[in-house]
Amino acid sequence: QVQLVQSGGGVVQPGRSLSLSCTASGLAFSSHAMNWVRQSPDKGLEWVASITYDGSNYFHADSVKGRFTVSRDNSLNTLFLHMRSLRPEDTAVYYCTTLDTLGTTDDYWGQGTLVTISS
């Protein structure tokens, strides 16, 4: 049974930093590209970042570019999202997911973690 277990999140002040992690089990983690997707009432579901299976390439949405960094440690089966210079509009539930948009594999999602940016 595949599980993506997320940790991190919470309430932080604008301008501060926060990191999220997502640990996979039951999945050939090192064979999968991984993604972060966030969901807020204002913007709905929004793709945030992607990283290739081996971590050699990564991509970020324009809305977070230069502030967020996706990374992974395949030896720990763990995906990370390092967020800095946080803004109120970054408030959302963040999901880690395989987000297989091409239909080449099964699609898996973490349980989500709430990030609230507020003074």
Partner 1 sequence: DVEMTQFPLSLSVTLGQPASISCRSSQSLVYSDGNTYLNWFLQRPGQPPRRLIYKVSNRDSGVPGRFSGSGSGTDFTLKISRVEAEDVGVYYCLQGTHWPPEFGQGTKVEI
Q: What Å distances lie between residue 52 and 59, 71, 91, 99, 101, CA to CA?
A: 9, 9, 26, 12, 14
Residues 10-69 that bind partner 1 (CB under 8 A): 44-47, 59, 61
66, containing H or E segment: none
- Among the listed residues 19, 30, 73, 109, the single contact to partner 1 using CB under 8 A: 109
Window contacting partner 1 (CB under 8 A); options: 19-27, 67-75, 82-90, 102-110: 102-110
Burial of 57 (0-12, 13-18, 19+ CB in 10 A): exposed
Q: What Å distances lie between residue 11 and 54, 66, 102, CA to CA?
A: 31, 21, 35
Q: Does 7 participate in binding partner 1 (rule CB under 8 A)?
A: no
Window contacting partner 1 (CB under 8 A); options: 8-16, 24-32, 71-79, 92-100: 92-100
Q: Which of 101, 111, 108 shows the shortest CA–CA distance to 39?
A: 111
Total number of residues that touch partner 1 (CB under 8 A)? 19
Q: Does 110 participate in binding partner 1 (rule CB under 8 A)?
A: yes
In the bound state with partner 1, the residue whose beta carbon lies nearer, of 73 and 100, is: 100
Residue ranges that bind partner 1, judged by CB under 8 A: 44-47, 59, 61, 95, 97, 99-103, 106-107, 109-112
